[in-house]
A and B are shown apart, each in its own frame.
Chain A
Amino acid sequence: MDAHVAQLQMQYRNYILSLYQQGFLDDQFTELKSLQDDGSPDFVAEVLSLFFDDCVKLVGNMARALDQIGTVDFCQVGANVHQLKGSSSSVGAKRVKGLCINFKELCEAKNYEGCVRCLQQVDIEYKTLKAKLQDMFNLEKQIVQAGGIVPQVDIN
């Protein structure tokens, strides 16, 4: 086998493992990958794209709701958190999901400062994940371009 391809594959494997180990992804992401097949080779990419679009929309909604200082509708914020929690859970975005669980409690407690801080964290977290997954897709592309096959990574 080509040494370059082998090296890229090793790099890819280690990268994926690190994403799981550092808590960015959980086994729901593994489940999504298992649904991808020759008939829908871009399934994971499409789903992730929908998720990140959701993030932009929901974070925007929440920022606007929290901007109404003095008349913040915490139910509205909570509803958006609920949606984000659902989609992050469905995509395997473990850290984002974890933040949403805290966020929900802060909304219920109507903790304004807490909500603002949490929203900032959510914003950073989903963007970080997006960048990491972009790196992952780039590695996949490099492997394919070098004539190799993207390895299945067993995270157990």
Chain B
Amino acid sequence: MGMAAVESHFHVLAVDDSSFDRKLIEKLLQKSSCQVTTVDSGYKALEFLGIESNDPNALSTSPQEVEVNLIITDYCMPGMTGYDLLKKVKESSAFKNIPVVIMSSENVPARISRCLEEGAEEFFLKPVRMADLNKLKPHMMKTKLNNQKLEEIDKPLNVAAAAAAVEPEIKDSAEVGSKILTLQSELEPKQVHLQVAQQEEQTLGNNNKRKSMEEGLSTDRSRPRFECITTAV
């Protein structure tokens, strides 16, 4: 792993009352290079996140101690269902932007649409397979790229060393733009996908940090470079 210095793992919180299913989802996620935390109930999930389960408007006591990039939960659980958990997460100001995926062994269309309407990102039928998790790759890549970019602002020297190690052909390794390019070409060489990711980056402007990043990029020579990479792939 040449980029260990700035590597940050995509952290998934998996919720399922069945120990068997927890083992399975954990393995699938690990195979997808995710960091996994498993809990056996919605209550434990909320506790882990730091949300008070009976007061959705309370500020969590430790908002950013735990960074979770995605929640994947079983639907049928005793006490708090996956749907209840989904609602609690979406009602929480600190965590409503975390994508939530619901899993269920039953194919009930009304259930599926209810979850999606409540804000679930995806609904997977069990048994969940690698092919299903591949649908989550765009989320993983977006988060990984954002984390990498945020790290780059703070550590320009590491960029030079890391970029040089990964992609020797790109000469001006001191630039933020080139580091992102090496990441993109290394991670997922699908042309359409890169273009989508690029467009998503450009349209998201609500986050201050990200906005300043985009401004940085637009004055950079890297934008035309993106196009070069996408057409070359």
Contact = CB atoms under 8 A, between A and B. Distances in A.
Interface of A: 28, 31, 34-35, 37, 40, 43, 46-47, 50-51, 54, 82-83, 85-87, 89-91
Contact of A83 (B18, B28, B130): B18
A28 B27 contact: no
B79 to A, nearest CB: 14
B24 A86 contact: no
Contacts of B24: 47, 90
A51 B20 CA distance: 7
Contacts of B195: none
Interface string B1-27: 000000000000000001111011001
Contacts of B31: 35, 37
Contacts of B130: 31, 34-35
A46 B22 CA distance: 13
Interface SS, B side: helix
A31 B31 CA distance: 12
A90 B126 contact: yes
16 contacts: A31-B127, A31-B130, A34-B130, A35-B28, A37-B31, A40-B27, A43-B27, A50-B20, A50-B23, A86-B21, A86-B105, A86-B126, A87-B20, A89-B105, A89-B126, A91-B20
Given A31-B130, A35-B31, A35-B130, 20 more contacts: A31-B127, A31-B129, A35-B27, A35-B28, A43-B27, A46-B23, A47-B23, A47-B24, A50-B19, A50-B20, A51-B20, A82-B76, A83-B18, A86-B105, A87-B20, A89-B105, A89-B127, A90-B21, A90-B24, A91-B20
